[in-house]
Structure 1
Amino acid sequence: MTREQALELLQQHLKNRNLVKHCLAVEACMKDFALHFGQDPEPWALAGLLHDLDYEYTVEKPAEHTEKTAEMLADHALPEEIIHAIKSHNMRVEPSSKMDISLLTIDPASGFIIACALMHPEKKLQSLDLLFLKKRFKEKSFAKGASRQQMQGCAKLAITLDEFLQLCLGAMQKISTELGL
């Protein structure tokens, strides 16, 4: 599956534009993480782009989230590593690879970084830096839906929280125009 085919599939199944932007942000982060770890960025990026493909169908049935995505992608002959990573971000299967753990940790981080941008006076990703992110990370009431514990799972990737946040921010800044931030 090409990126263009994946994007078309995503736009076909997700009507909420902000959810599509979230998937684009996760895709960008996954691509940069793959490069950081010396891996092929294409499957990592596809896992990031497609990870919430079923979200609008399963929002009321969170236990089915990612299972429906796996069903939806069954006819597309994607490598098992992509399907496994997608399932692991909802803990449907145990995360076991760097791709799995990266997706699991990046998913909440992308939302957290977008929330940081939206509350920043300039409302731009380019205006954010690591210090700003770290201050907000410590505020338990800020972006409560972004699991700090899940993001701290980056330790399983042998990178610090600072490195993790910087990698995510840098990836998202590269596509800030696409994200409208």
Structure 2
Amino acid sequence: MQREKAIELLEKHVTTPHIIRHCYAVEAVMRKLAEKLEPEKIDDWGIAGLLHDLDNDLVDWESDMSVHGPKTVEVMKVEGIGNEQMYRAILAHNPANGSKIESTFERAMYAADPITGFINAIALVYPDKKIKSVKVKSIVKRMKETRFAAGANREAMKSIELLDISFEEFAELALNAMCEIDSVLEL
């Protein structure tokens, strides 16, 4: 029930197609991370991932990054969806809003957000542009190529290691999660 309501909110407030696909990718990665780290919280982690960019079309966060996250939390509270842990994780994915990363959930969100875009960028350089063509070793290799997907927050992705997950293991988990929803991602 909660996920259906989250999907309704996403479709109501986000109209940019690549952001919608990105939100589904982050949801998939967060669900896999929750399976590993906090299995009793899979739905909370997934919904937070799905809604983390809910404010994308509601605020001009590109000119003021500090507003990205708080508006999402505000909408979620008005709509009666989520809890304090979910709100804090959503805020934590964008430290520019003044939030601090204090929990496993928050750290996972901070790392999951950029890796989905990074993997997407890798898939798009393959001839077939299919996510199932991407290999974990390519993700690890591209991390070292700072000019590739230069805007990707590598520090955030690597911070997964603070949760005792190697970057290679994280890359594999994220890639597998995204491959499971390749048709949704249109990759």
TM-score (structure 2 length as normaliser): 0.93
Segments ≥4 residues shifted beyond 2 Å: 58-61
2:86 equivalent to 1:82: yes
In 1, the alpha carbon distance for the partners of 2:102 and 2:84 equals: 13
1:70 to 2:73 alignment: yes
**1:128: which partner in 2?**
134
Give the match for residue 183 of structure 2: 177
Any stretches of 5+ residues in structure 1 without a counterpart? Answer: none
CA contact (8 A) 2:2 2:81 kept: no
For this pair of structures, how many residues does the alignment match? 181
Q: Give percent identity, aligned residues only.
A: 38
SS in 1 for 2:76: helix
1:77–1:131 Cα change, 3 Å: closer
TM-score, reference length from structure 1 = 0.96
Cα distance, 1:133 vs structure 2: 1.2
Q: CA separation in 2, counterparts of 1:77 and 1:52?
A: 15
- CA distances 1:66-88 after superposition (whole Å, capped 9, x unpaired): 01111111121421100010011
Q: Which residue of 1 aligns with 2:145?
A: 139
Q: What secondary structure does 1:159 align onto?
A: coil
Q: Is the 8 A contact 2:6 2:81 kept in 1?
A: no
Aligned Cα RMSD in Å?
1.2
Q: 1:13 offset after TM fit, Å?
A: 1.0
- Cα deviation code 1:31-61 (max 9, x no counterpart): 0000011422100001100101012223332
The change in CA–CA distance for 1:77 and 1:7 in structure 2 (over 3 A counts) is: closer
Q: Could you list the per-position Cα deviations for residues 146-176 of structure 1 after superposition, in whole angstroms to 9, with x for gaps in the alignment?
A: 1111111011111111011111101000000
Matched-pair contact (CA < 8 Å) for 2:93–2:106: yes
Structure 2 distance, partners of 1:155, 1:131, is: 17
Q: Any residues of structure 2 matched to 1:153-164 within 5 Å, and which?
A: 153-164=159-170
Alignment partners' CA distance in 1, 2:37 and 2:66:
31
CA distance in 2, matches of 1:149, 1:93: 17
